[in-house]
Amino acid sequence: MEQKRYGHFDDQHREYVITDPQTPWPWINYLGNEDFFSLISNTAGGYSFYKDAKFRRITRYRYNNVPMDNGGRYFYIKDGDTVWNPGWKPCKTPLDFYECRHGMSYTRITGRKNGVEASVLFFVPLKKWCEVQKLTLKNESAETKTLKLFSFEEWCLWNAATDMENFQRNFSTGEVEIEGSTIYHKTEYRERRNHYAFYHVNTEIQGFDTDRETFVGLYNEFADPQAVMEGKPRNSHAHGWSPIASHYIEVTLKPGESRDFVFLLGYIENEQDEKFSAPQVINKQKAHALIAELDTTEKVDKAFAELCEYWDSLLNIYKVQTGNDKLDRMVNIWNQYQCMVTFNFSRSASFFESGVGRGMGFRDSNQDLVGFVHQIPPRARQRIIDIASTQFPDGGCYHQYQPLTKRGNNDIGGGFNDDPCWLIFGTVAYIKETGDFSILDEMVPFDNQPGSEVTLFEHLKISMDHVIKNLGPHMLPLIGRADWNDCLNLNCFSWDPNESFQTTENVSEGTKAESLMIAGLFVVTGKDYVALCKKIGKTAEAERMQQAVDAMIEAVKKHGWDGEWYLRAYDFYGRKIGSNECEEAKIFIESQGWCTMAEIGAEEGMVAKSLDSCKKYLECEHGMVLNNPAFTKYIYEYGEISSYPEGYKENAGIFCHNNPWVIIGECLAGRGNDAWSHYAKILPSYVEEKYQTLHKVEPYVNCQMVAGKDAFKPGEGKNSWLTGTAAWMWYTVSEFILGIKPDYDGIRIDPCLPETASDYTVNRKFREAEYDITIHPNGQQKGVKAITLDGNPIDGTVIPYSPGKHTVEVTM
């Protein structure tokens, strides 16, 4: 079926250009890199927050709304009787031209109507707590135009969760102040809060509104706010109900004339003793200072140029040239960009994550880090410390923590037995990238309790021990509440639909539920841990853990092999899961991925057989499904996984996150053709070319799940942006396919490619060095024959690290 296209890549500008506002789903972008963040859709929907999408929400958003994606930062232009928005929504007045360009931490939306062009550049300047909206209005007609311009933002009463439920209080708390062209939102500022927000424009205004009902009208909508339709602001002052911010500006433009307006949505925190400038009047000093930094087009352009340079420098660290645009644009631009976004947000705020449900995940953030560590290592370092600080003394840990407080999340608690291993995964990646072993000596508390600090290395040790101390009857790791697959709940036993699968553990006493996924993960991270111990001279510890790893390998070979693939788990009663003996879900992807990455039983042919089985039973046109066949009924002993309809999410969806595990298994086994064909199936640029309508979600990033072969609509994507897929896709392509792998003493070169691969180059900045690497595959899938460094042959496959610029030639 020929698929309609809604946009295309513009690689030169590192943008995705959307040319039709009616995309099959809102296609969004993220603004902000450290503290102040915004989500913005291709029609300017979305919201902003400071650090934490739950506790410090600045503007309001209603998820799962009708129409979808209503509410955002809107500019209404009233030109005679026509009212329109540059991003088409919310008025939906047909435009003469529409374009949305999502770039690296910025979005530019341009609309044209009746000879007027309105173009808005949205971004969050580096190190500043505000969103800039630079609106340029241009009269392209032959007549003078007098336009009425209304801006619009709706304030959220800070806590995004209570904002949606506690109306008996909320409708009485809203407070604002208006000063010149700035509208201040100061709800609850008098009590425990020391923060406020503001919405400013750098020109004189002819009116304003701050009360939603007055501006919109109780029986009107965002599409036809009364004040706008009548061209008359009400100068309303909100007291309770729903405070908003809207500026009203009258603009006259001669033919050919254009004018810029800088709108600023800012966030300020004041010290306790500097909160007020007069009784009940907020101290606006910091707001004034921030406004002064961005009150002209020149200042804004400069801030924007700095942001672009920042992205230049980040994306200059790893650059590939293969001649295949679809690959190059994902590696050089979008995959790395998505890695930054997942690092920043974990799984908290997207158009599928409400920002109130989940904070930062322990396992999620460790994995995200692997996609990000090469970009800004010091931030990765801090993240590792933050994550480890939520661990318990027995090595277990909180499954999630809140970014604002960095405290473990009690609602979800702990007990996910794969979690500890991920700390090793993240830390090892950090040290290999940076050579900074000193992180191991950092003193890190348990559960953020002062006085409980031990070294980070000690945290790693207890992480490994946590697995060893929690083995089941087959000497395989007990699964606990769940392993990577949050929905395989083997100790849950829930018949009560009001119980959450995620937090309920009705029976676990005497459980025999073991996980082959954790077994593989333990072997992979255990080998890493052993190598690390040797590296830092802890030989006895290395030996101790090597024995545990060897024992785990034996346990998997003995009790984890089903004949053609690795089992998935044992249930509470010790019965096999993911076996040919099972009625449904005979094979699962997670254990194939981890046990092949761990190369368990490679000599006995297990790895090759497992990889073949993935191709035979899991693969389909859109990628590899999680399990096969799908569950067709709810299984009390298995929990959430079997509650999903066939082909969706953890029940035989294509969970993109774990496809790379098998791809890495393929790479380690040297099967480059297979690795590539799995990889290309879920590579957004390939999907973009074929399936914009079917795929539905953003074509420039990976989504968590694509409906699998058993689904009603195979190929339909969901849960875009915040997924471990980003980091895994990056790790897979950069280190295993293209084969440039940071190591303690240098860079290991070991590509695994399809036979058809041509020569390619990778420019890799690494610590204080820069390597220009050219690879000549010569039709080989795997196996480096010779490497020269600056013209001299080297032994082995590791280019020894030394600062400076180097040229590397690799012959396969």
Window of 297-305, 326-334, 482-490, 592-600 that interacts with ligand BGC by CB under 6 A:
482-490
Site string for ligand BGC, 429-468 (x = CB under 6 A): ----------------------------------------
Nearer to ligand BGC, 120 or 517 (CB): 517
Residue 154 CA to residue 225 CA, distance in Å, equals 13
Site for ligand BGC in 645-684 (CB under 6 A): 650
The answer to whether residue 481 forms part of the interface with ligand BGC (CB under 6 A) is no
The least distance separating ligand BGC from the CB of residue 422, rounded to whole angstroms, comes to 10
The DSSP secondary structure of 735-792, one letter per residue, reads: IIIS-EEEETTEEEE--B--TT---EEEEEEETTEEEEEEEE-TT-SB---EEEETTE
Residue 714 CA to residue 717 CA, distance in Å, equals 9
Window of 358-366, 420-428, 671-679, 777-785 that interacts with ligand BGC by CB under 6 A:
358-366
Window of 65-73, 480-488, 524-532, 749-757 that interacts with ligand BGC by CB under 6 A:
480-488
Site for ligand BGC in 36-95 (CB under 6 A): none
The least distance separating ligand BGC from the CB of residue 403, rounded to whole angstroms, comes to 15
The answer to whether residue 363 forms part of the interface with ligand BGC (CB under 6 A) is yes
Dihedral sign, Cα of residue 357, residue 363, residue 365, residue 371: negative
The answer to whether residue 593 forms part of the interface with ligand BGC (CB under 6 A) is no
The least distance separating ligand BGC from the CB of residue 346, rounded to whole angstroms, comes to 8
The answer to whether residue 568 forms part of the interface with ligand BGC (CB under 6 A) is no
Q: Give the three-state DSSP class for 1.
A: coil
Q: Give the three-state DSSP class for 348.
A: coil
The letter for the amino acid at 581 is: E
The answer to whether residue 640 forms part of the interface with ligand BGC (CB under 6 A) is no
User: Of 467, 473, 469, nearest to 571 (Cα)?
Assistant: 473
Distances (CA, A) of 413 to 363, 391, 640: 13, 11, 18
The answer to whether residue 15 forms part of the interface with ligand BGC (CB under 6 A) is no
Q: Give the three-state DSSP class for 162.
A: helix
The least distance separating ligand BGC from the CB of residue 380, rounded to whole angstroms, comes to 19
Nearer to ligand BGC, 228 or 421 (CB): 421
Q: What angle do CA 299, 301, 303 make, to 5 degrees?
A: 70
For residues 380 and 430, the answer to whether their CB atoms sit within 8 Å is yes
Q: 343 — phi, psi (to 5°)? A: -60, -45
For residues 512 and 574, the answer to whether their CB atoms sit within 8 Å is yes
What is the set of active-site residues? 486
Residue 335 host element (H or E)? helix 335-345
Nearer to ligand BGC, 284 or 481 (CB): 481
Residue 655 host element (H or E)? strand 654-655
Q: Which of 51, 134, 138, 347 binds ligand BGC (CB under 6 A)?
A: 347
The least distance separating ligand BGC from the CB of residue 547, rounded to whole angstroms, comes to 29
Site for ligand BGC in 483-542 (CB under 6 A): 484-487
Nearer to ligand BGC, 151 or 719 (CB): 719
Count Cα neighbours of 611 within 13 Å in the Cβ-side half-sphere.
Answer: 28
For residues 716 and 647, the answer to whether their CB atoms sit within 8 Å is no
How many residues at the interface with ligand BGC, by CB under 6 A?
9
For residues 54 and 348, the answer to whether their CB atoms sit within 8 Å is yes
For residues 126 and 119, the answer to whether their CB atoms sit within 8 Å is no
Nearer to ligand BGC, 36 or 648 (CB): 648
For residues 565 and 532, the answer to whether their CB atoms sit within 8 Å is no
The least distance separating ligand BGC from the CB of residue 598, rounded to whole angstroms, comes to 18
Q: Which of 225, 355, 361, 746 binds ligand BGC (CB under 6 A)?
A: 361
Give the largest CA-CA distance in the chain: 84
Nearer to ligand BGC, 307 or 387 (CB): 387
Question: Which residues are near ligand BGC by CB under 6 A?
Answer: 347, 361, 363-364, 484-487, 650
